[in-house]
Structure 1
Amino acid sequence: MDYYDYFRVKPGSKLDLNKFDPVCKDLHDDSDLAEAEMQRLRDRLRELQYSMYAERKRSVLIVLQGRDAAGKDGTIRHVFRAMNPQGCRVFSFKVPSKEEAEHDFLWRHHRVTPGLGHIAVFNRSHYEEVLVQRVHNMVPKEVWKKRYDEINNFEQMLANNSTHILKFYLHIDPEEQLERFKKRLESPHKYWKISDADYSERPYWDDYTKAYEDALTKCSTDYAPWFTIPSNRKWFRNYVVLKILIAAFESFHISMPETTVDLDAIRRLYHQEKKKENGG
């Protein structure tokens, strides 16, 4: 199945998240089989990253968005562990610092976009400016409405400079979110994740739904597509993200660079050193 196309938000399309199934059991219902395949997919992703790092002709920006407990951290832990950290960095965006707040809203994101050969993963992103700021009326409507075009222009500029952009919205329903909040209360090693905001944000569920629908439909483009990922089942979420990443990376047609040295001369040097080592 072509997961890339199936879960991609088509440019210009309408999206109704209330009708989007966060489980999608009809697509895959065997976690054991998926886990076996995921190891193969991680190995393939590692190979592709290695080639891209060596090629140094492109970079990749991966955006993860979702409601509280949607699984952004879990996706990073289970999917991106395949990556060599030498070429992949994760950036988490919290409340802007004083310095960040003194610049335009894209400044703090632009300064950490990936260079050639590298991958950057944004755990939350510049889209917070049309999500939380919109829902809580932190800026006037005439301000956040302009940001869709500003975001599209920003992403177009990155794409024009050899950055591939892949954006994932991790979709869960309110019942699953509450169940995950319960597990945080039951697991001491998850206490650190608990926040008052977990519960204070729930009354705004419908407002966030509308904000996400607008962000995904207005800002899913051919050069920076959004993917809506069913995330109630964590293993399936990871599986789908991996499949989409593999499809995207393979479409880049990455090639290993040609050597810049005289291999015959290097081989002669090697054999000379080996001969010395053997006492010859």
Structure 2
Amino acid sequence: MICVGIDVSKRKSTVCFMAPGDKIIRRPFDVKHTKEELQPLVDEIRVQAKYDEIKVVMESTGVYHLSIAYFLQQNGIFVSVVNALKVANFNKAENFRHTKTDSIDSTNIARYGIAYWAKLPQFDLNGDKYFLLKRLCDAYLNFSEERSRILLQLQSQLEQTMPGIFDLFGGFDINSGKGKLLDFLERYCHIEDIIAKSEAEFVSSYREWAKEKGYRSNESKAATIYAQAKNGIPSIPNNPIVRETIMW
């Protein structure tokens, strides 16, 4: 049997080939997490596999181990991803060197693999798909929270540029980030954009916009918006910086 112990880092890994009895088949060496450097590792493992059973063992490192584990397993190599605490406890029980270097760590991982050869769990793509799905869900939730924060900030800004417009349109959906008001802001984001026109001009422009966006072309709604704009007092000026913060 030959165990390939891999100590995984962010962009590279340290690899050690070991046989029982602490026999080093190949001294620890580094490989980057690229196809160009991982393919020769695959080739070497396949050569060794012609003469003896071979397994690859690495510690679970959050996400860093995933790329190399996937690559090796997709090339038909047995890969086992083990809990780092189990390896640490094994090293402590066996009184192995406590100095931490990538080379020593890869050697100790290989020793662990040989000691627990028959019990090594095979890397489960589906199991890690669950892990990846969880990360995607976390990212989605973070994105949703950030979007909600931005929309609430926008609501506050609108009270300064077009007082009352939020309530007049019934707001917007904080969860979906969609709504008639958001579409309206693409054309009008300050009271002065509205009152720069005559009421007839604004009503005509509003109806044209509503038709273009697929909304009901309501003349009375346009007149109400115009009247409110004429009566409103903005607290911040209509300038490029203000417009940029709203449109962003």
What is the TM-score when the length of structure 1 is the normalising length?
Answer: 0.22
Larger Rg: 2
